[in-house]
Structure 1
Amino acid sequence: MAPSPKSPPLRDRAPESPAGGSAATAALHGTVHLTVNGEARSLTVDNRTTLLDALREHLHLCGTKKGCDHGQCGACTALVDGRRINTCLSLAVMHEGSEVTTIEGLGTPEAMHPMQEAFVRHDGFQCGYCTPGQICSAVGALRELRDGVPSHASADLQAQPLLSPDEMRERMSGNICRCGAYSNIQQAIAEAAEATR
């Protein structure tokens, strides 16, 4: 029979930190400086905190949704330094000094972003849970097109990608709409692309 585990001797335990927790626990926390929706923010977070949880739990910006928490649905998409990312797959401390734009930073009900206006006009949502991620992803996808970034649907990797339905379907494939509003989303993106061209 194996002996039962015992508590480590006092000499083997982690030293206490001045704040009352162990030094090991204190080492797990860090301060990250971000610009979120145009405002400078400093957060002290556990180094294992995702950017998604930092936005939702620490900054109370709940427009960025937690869907699958595995990077498969795109509901948590936000723009970081102009590029769209799944915030559930990225640690907050990885983005020291970054500029983060969430759905709240794209526009307001009084002054909506053209993509937000197009989603409303084309009824590009039903339950609305995926909509913030869809909109942020669409804004990022159009920026990629303007910058000439190819996708798997691009026929010529050296040529400027075209704003085609196939191209946009490929670029938006990481954003799932469980309600199936894809055709309306596609129309909204096409309209916003024309408006921002």
Structure 2
Amino acid sequence: MSKLDSQDVPGRRITVTVNGVERRAWCADRTLLAHFVREQLALPGTHVGCMNGDCGACTVIVDGAIVKSCLQLAAAADGAEITTVEGLGEPGNLHPVQEAFWAEDGFQCGFCLPGHLLVALKLAEQQGDPSEEEIRAALAGNLCRCTGYQSIVAAVQRAIRQTEGT
């Protein structure tokens, strides 16, 4: 039982489908989705950075839309389908988007990587061949202090090519 799971703190049990698995957990009414995913569901790949939606490290996909989980209450996700970076692949069985970032050195420290991977996934799912400018615009909500973005853009371009037709 969580120290917050008591009569003293308003909250409720919510049900979400995370990475294809239905999960039920209690959360305080004030719990942000980022903290719920990390602490209640034990999925630490969703990083917490700026806490105001600017950095994108907390990016998840909720019901098909990119969401900054530091800006959404967990209770608002009740009944939702959520994809976190842990839902992409695993060691030895990487998702094509992860393979593209590996091949293009699209990361350095890795703190921003979850957000970039999920944005790349959404771009790869869309029909068409986005220009470099369109890719950069899609990535604008995700900050990276290490790479200078050139390798990230190249990784997204590769990810789109690798996932065409899948």
TM over 0.5, yes or no?
yes
Shift of 1:20: 7.6
Between the aligned partners of 1:180 and 1:168, the Cα distance in structure 2 is: 16
* 2:28 aligned residue: 46
Higher relative contact order (CA 8 A, sep 6+): 2
Of the three residues 74, 80, 83, the one matched with 1:101 is: 83
* 1:16 aligned residue: none
Contact 1:141 1:172 in 2 (8 A): no
Of the three residues 130, 137, 151, the one matched with 2:119 is: 137
Structure 1, unaligned runs of 5 or more: 1-18, 147-160
SS of the residue aligned with 1:97? coil
Shift of 1:162: 4.8
Matched, 1:37 2:19: yes
* 2:56 aligned residue: 74
Q: How does 1:109-188 map onto structure 2 within 5 Å?
A: 109-143=91-125, 145-146=126-127, 162-188=129-155
Between the aligned partners of 2:141 and 2:20, the Cα distance in structure 1 is: 26
Contact 1:75 1:129 in 2 (8 A): yes
Report runs of 4+ in structure 1 exceeding 6 Å deviation: none
SS of the residue aligned with 2:70? helix
* 1:149 aligned residue: none
Contact 2:124 2:159 in 1 (8 A): no
Shift of 1:74: 0.3
Between the aligned partners of 1:103 and 1:110, the Cα distance in structure 2 is: 15
**Which is higher, the Rg of structure 1 or of structure 2?**
1
Contact 2:123 2:160 in 1 (8 A): no
Between the aligned partners of 2:85 and 2:6, the Cα distance in structure 1 is: 38
Shift of 1:135: 0.4
Matched pairs, number: 160
Between the aligned partners of 1:116 and 1:20, the Cα distance in structure 2 is: 40
Q: RMSD of the alignment, in Å?
A: 1.7
Sequence identity, in percent?
42
Between the aligned partners of 2:129 and 2:161, the Cα distance in structure 1 is: 13
TM-score by length of structure 2 reads 0.90
Contact 1:126 1:181 in 2 (8 A): no
TM-score by length of structure 1 reads 0.77
One-letter identity of the residue aligned with 1:174: G
Contact 2:120 2:159 in 1 (8 A): no
